[in-house]
Amino acid sequence: MDFEWSEEQNEFREAVLTFARRVLGGDVVARDSAGEFSRDLWRQCAEFGIQGLPFPAQYGGSDADVLTTMLAMEALGVACADQGLLFSIHAHMWSVAMPLLAFGTDAQKDRWMPGLCDGSLIGAHGMSEPDSGSDAYGLRTRADQKGDHWVLNGAKMFVTNAPEADLFVVFATVDPKKRMWGITGFLIERDTPGLSVSPKIAKLGLTTSPMAEVVLEDCAVPAANVLGRIGQGATIFNHSMGWERSCILASTIGGMDRQLETCLAYVKSRRQFNRPIGDFQLVSSRIVDMKVRLETSRLLLYRAAWAQAKGQTPALEAAMAKLYISEAAVQSALDAIQVHGGYGYMKEYQVERDLRDAVGARLYSGTSEIQRLIIARNLGLTPA
């Protein structure tokens, strides 16, 4: 095992840090309070090459390998406090652009991949419904073929990027009796008649990442916009979840790194009883735990990403990474608040936002409970 980055990778990481500090270091407090997504910052990230990092040069991407992409996304989390913006970019890359690259026809990829890579298009992924979340294959959205079109009816809930999205990957069933084998993916453009987006949903955290419900009412989608084959939707969804669970928390780890450095500086400068509070064992123990969680999270992330890069289907590794990192991020955010005491509870110190942003990681891309089920099944257990 080689744990060293190449000189080129380290130089690229420094370039990402410099870019993020210069361009993305604006007033995240105001955007967080207003729940404001910045399309301008999205565009600047795309101009730097973020959205196109792991995608082929023929579509305007950078042909970066997965581990280099993870290094860059982690660096963004270190230097950019706007985790909502970064979460939107991750969702766009792993649940829209990646399945399109893997399962799309040449015509579909030629039509949409360049815009997804250069940031002129924003992607959204619709699987969860008001009555089906963890039971993803219990979805009710129907797709009925009528001539050279498929007509979709149903609703998708908790759709990240929906208020700003230009292209939607939507899953519907062509035959509910077939359960997962009836699920099919569709590529739907925003201006398609019958597709409507609800007002933005207010959230606890990741407030700068827009979310909404998507409603489909007699939405006619050309047969040419079917993603993959009819009935292949479950395979496509599992593919995108593999990428999401392996990669989406890279920026969260970067945020944990930034959080640790903030806490270290605070406990060295904050004095109580005529001593820096970092001298007290109960305080230093929290810092130590934060460091161990950070480094363990990195190892799990890069192990899962490495498996993806090798073309494996690392369901176990991805589930372990998703479970551990999401839980670690929440606990470290709680520790950061505790270390700061009353100041950590105040918005002015920007510590409480890390906790609000971290909580969602235990829910999106499969809850912690679902990750535990996946891990148990991969260990040969069949829990009810």
Catalytic positions are 244
Nearest-angstrom CA–CA distance, 247 and 321: 9
Nearest-angstrom CA–CA distance, 225 and 109: 11
Please, are residues 180 and 137 in contact by the beta-carbon 8 Å criterion? Answer: yes
Q: Pick from 369, 370, 338: which is nearest to 354 by CA?
A: 338
Please, are residues 183 and 139 in contact by the beta-carbon 8 Å criterion? Answer: yes
Please, are residues 90 and 51 in contact by the beta-carbon 8 Å criterion? Answer: no
Return the H-helix or E-strand segment holding 47: helix 39-48
What HEC string does 125-184 produce? Answer: EECCECCECCCHHHCCCEEEEECCEEEEEEEEEEEECCCCCCEEEEEEECCHHHHHHHEE
CB count within 10 Å of CB 324 equals 19
Beta bridge partners of 124: 168
Nearest-angstrom CA–CA distance, 142 and 280: 60
φ/ψ (deg, to 5) at 156: -120, 135
Nearest-angstrom CA–CA distance, 152 and 214: 12
Angle at which helix 66-79 crosses helix 281-309, to 10 degrees, equals: 150
Q: Pick from 210, 215, 191: which is nearest to 200 by CA?
A: 210
Structure tokens that stand for 246 in this block = 């392996």
